[in-house]
Amino acid sequence: MALKHSYTLLAPIYDSLVSGPLDAYRAKSLSRIKETTNKKILINGIGSGLDIPHLPDDARYIGTDITPAMLKRAKQRASVGDGKPSLDISFQLADSQDLPFEDKSFDIVVMHLILAVVPDPALALQEANRVLKPGGNIYIFDKFIRPGQLAIVRRMLSIFIRHIATRTDVVFEDVLSSCPKLEVTSDEPALAKGWFRLIELKKYN
Ligand SMILES: C[S@@+](CC[C@H](N)C(=O)[O-])C[C@H]1O[C@@H](n2cnc3c(N)ncnc32)[C@H](O)[C@@H]1O
């Protein structure tokens, strides 16, 4: 609940904090998505919709988020300004840890800066896996510490900021181990000497 309140306060300034250096990686992450015609794509934790200008036009999208103020901005972005008025996108309030969708209902799930934000990243990945069709992909852009990495400052920092903005102590490999049907098909270092990573997962039968 605290995250929802802090993102309500952050909503008016979120774009100025997060766009800029992250934009190139966001674009690179989404450029990995191929063959999108008629595909159903979940933009999980869409925030203010900074992904929207980079999304291919020929798919159907649902953007979810837990914070109404962030979703409102995403809706505005989709309809005017630097958005894409032609995009087939709808929006829904939803918790990434308890998605209101049927099993196997999406071809692709995008998770940009959400897995390391939610209180329980393993649960959020399990939910993404549940709603993903076999053969589908999950595209992640986020910050993770490596298994065995000391990262004392980031682990300490996380204690203070996890309730208001993001976790900084998430080990991706620990999160992934809760989803045996998901396999890493690519994992590239991005910003901050590889603290941020671009990860692609595939769901097997
Ligand atoms: C760092 S922002 C990332 C937004 C967007 N994906 C981006 O790349 O800019 C984190 C977002 O997660 C949302 N959020 C926090 N907890 C959530 C939850 N449990 N379920 C869904 N969204 C959540 C916040 O409201 C916020 O919009």
CA 3 to centroid of ligand 1, rounded, Å: 9
Determine if ligand 1 sits within 6 Å of the CB of residue 66. Answer: yes
Determine if ligand 1 sits within 6 Å of the CB of residue 118. Answer: yes
How is residue 66 written in tokens? 């837990």
Q: Whose CA is nearest to atom 4 of ligand 1?
A: 47
CA 184 to centroid of ligand 1, rounded, Å: 23
Determine if ligand 1 sits within 6 Å of the CB of residue 50. Answer: yes
> What's the CATH number where 192 sits?
3.40.50.150
Give the span between the Cα atoms of 124 and 111, in whole angstroms: 10
- The structural domain count of the chain equals 1
Determine if ligand 1 sits within 6 Å of the CB of residue 127. Answer: no
CA 104 to centroid of ligand 1, rounded, Å: 22
Kindly give the confidence (pLDDT) of every residue in the chain, 205 residues in length, as a single tens digit, with 9 standing for 90 and above.
589 999 999 999 999 998 888 999 999 999 999 889 999 999 999 999 999 999 998 999 999 999 999 999 999 999 875 556 679 999 999 999 999 999 999 999 999 999 999 999 999 999 999 999 999 999 999 999 999 888 999 999 989 889 888 999 999 999 999 999 999 999 999 988 889 999 999 999 7
68-79 and 2-18 helices, crossing angle to 10°? 40
CA 7 to centroid of ligand 1, rounded, Å: 8
The reported pLDDT for the residue numbered 155 is 92
CA 65 to centroid of ligand 1, rounded, Å: 6
Determine if ligand 1 sits within 6 Å of the CB of residue 70. Answer: yes
Dihedral angle at the C-alpha atoms of 110, 23, 6, 149, nearest 10 degrees? 80
How is residue 97 written in tokens? 């840890």
Determine if ligand 1 sits within 6 Å of the CB of residue 113. Answer: yes
The reported pLDDT for the residue numbered 98 is 98
What domain range includes position 71?
2-203
Determine if ligand 1 sits within 6 Å of the CB of residue 3. Answer: yes
Phi, psi of 78 (to 5 degrees): -70, -25
Q: Whose CA is nearest to atom 25 of ligand 1?
A: 67
Phi, psi of 149 (to 5 degrees): -70, 130
The reported pLDDT for the residue numbered 82 is 57
Q: Whole-prediction pTM value?
A: 0.94
Phi, psi of 109 (to 5 degrees): -125, 130
The reported pLDDT for the residue numbered 130 is 98
